[in-house]
Structure 1
Amino acid sequence: MTQGIEVVGVYVRDQDEAVAFYVDVLGFKIHTDVRNGAYRWLTVQHPDQPAFQLGLFVPGPPVHDAATAQAMAALVAKGAMPALVLAVDDCRAAYQRLSAAGVEFTQAPVERYGTVDAGFRDPSGNGWKMIESARGPA
């Protein structure tokens, strides 16, 4: 039996706002955008990782009741959810480009552990680490 992770979800406050950020700013592509009544299954993919999808989901029915959805939305807004990691070729250049596009950075690029990393948030408050990929020998 073959198994693997295909979709990892993050909770967002507004899916259209999330699309504008993940597609227009970060350069992801929409993979799936379907509705079933009020429920919307929305996933995006990084163009270099076609087998992996990031789900952009709003807490609420059919998965959560109203009270749970409200509590989860509050946690996301506070940045309490685990940080996601975005690998980039050049962290400082990506920082400049994304800063110019209005991305809220929580940490400017810092060199440590043999690489460079920075921190930012999406419009819903989800934390991201942007880490420069290790370069192999020239």
Structure 2
Amino acid sequence: MTISLQYTNITVNDPDASIEFYRDALGLEVSNDVRSGDFRWVTMGTDAQPGLGIVLSEPHAGRSQEDGDAMAELLNKGVLPMLVFTTSNLDATFEQAVAAGAEVLQEPVDQPWGPRDCAFRDPSGNTVRVNQG
């Protein structure tokens, strides 16, 4: 039996700003853009890892008002789970993200627990880490 992760969901305040960040800073591409009423789900991925994607959606998309409000509060506090990417060239990825205007949380550094990595905040405040692969 083989199992792999296909998508992970990322809650964002502004899908368009988030598309720009994940496209320009990390090189992902939009593979699907679905609208349902006032809400939107945007799937992004890369040819380098076919079948793996992220889905960007607003706090209230597909949720009750109460749940959407709770998710929005957590997003605004910056306490939703972080997203970790791996790259073959951390320095080049870091420079690309900086050039795209990403908010830097941590420049590339060798961590005492193993990986060399850096960190950014996406336009909605989510923490995005990138490890050298």
Q: TM-score range by the shorter chain?
A: 0.7 to 0.9
Give me the whole-angstrom Cα distance separating, in 2, the residues matched to 1:65 and 1:54: 22
Give me the whole-angstrom Cα distance separating, in 1, the residues matched to 2:60 and 2:114: 41
The one-letter code of the counterpart of 2:60 is: G
Distance 1:97 1:40, change over 3 A: closer
Could you say which residue in structure 2 is the equivalent of 1:44?
A: 44
The list of structure 1 runs, each at least 4 consecutive aligned residues, that deviate by more than 3 angstroms after superposition, is 1-5
Which ranges of structure 2 fall in alignment gaps of 5 or more residues?
none
* Displacement after TM superposition at 1:83 (Å): 1.2
Please show how residues 24-43 of structure 1 align to structure 2 within 5 Å. Answer: 24-43=24-43
Q: Is residue 111 from structure 1 mapped to residue 120 from structure 2 by the alignment?
A: no
TM-score under structure 2 normalisation? Answer: 0.86
The one-letter code of the counterpart of 1:50 is: P
Distance 1:79 1:65, change over 3 A: same
Could you say which residue in structure 1 is the equivalent of 2:57?
A: 57
Task: Out of 107-116 and 51-60, give the one that drifted further.
Answer: 107-116
Give me the whole-angstrom Cα distance separating, in 1, the residues matched to 2:39 and 2:8: 17
Name which one, 1 or 2, has greater alpha-carbon Rg: 1
Give me the whole-angstrom Cα distance separating, in 1, the residues matched to 2:44 and 2:54: 5
Q: What's the RMSD between the two structures over aligned residues? A: 2.0
Work out the number of aligned pairs and report it: 132
State the identity as a percent.
36
Which secondary structure does the structure 1 equivalent of 2:34 belong to?
Answer: strand
Could you say which residue in structure 1 is the equivalent of 2:13?
A: 13
Which secondary structure does the structure 2 equivalent of 1:80 belong to?
Answer: coil
Which secondary structure does the structure 2 equivalent of 1:125 belong to?
Answer: coil
Distance 1:3 1:100, change over 3 A: closer
Post-superposition Cα deviations, 1:30-64, rounded to whole Å, max 9, x if no partner, equal: 11112222232310012311211200011114x32
